[in-house]
Amino acid sequence: MVLQEEEERSIQADIEASPALKQMIEESREEYQTGKGMTTSDLFTKGIPSSMVKHKHS
């Protein structure tokens, strides 16, 4: 699967317009660097960790 923006605008413009987006990206990078995150490849090969799955209580 390939995801591509239709506009030429870079994500930098979105980051500058949204402090919340900037914070989310920074936190995501930090989690990835400390081993708490997953790449897309990891997700496809290893699956979603059970700790990330919300279970419905019956």
Mean pLDDT of the chain: 79
- State CA 19 to chain mean position distance: 16
At 8 the pLDDT is: 58
Q: What is the pTM of this model?
A: 0.50
Instruction: Indicate the pLDDT class of residue 5, thresholds 50, 70 and 90.
Output: low
Distance spanning both ends of the chain, measured CA to CA: 35
pLDDT of residue 43: 78
CA pair distance 45, 13, nearest whole angstrom: 33
Per-residue pLDDT tens over the stretch 6-33: 665 688 888 889 999 999 999 988 988 8
Q: DSSP secondary structure string, 28-49? A: HHHHHHTT----HHHHHHH---
- Does an H or E element contain 14, and which? helix 11-17
Which pair of tokens denotes residue 48?
Answer: 């979603």
Q: Over 90: is that where the pLDDT of 45 sits?
A: no
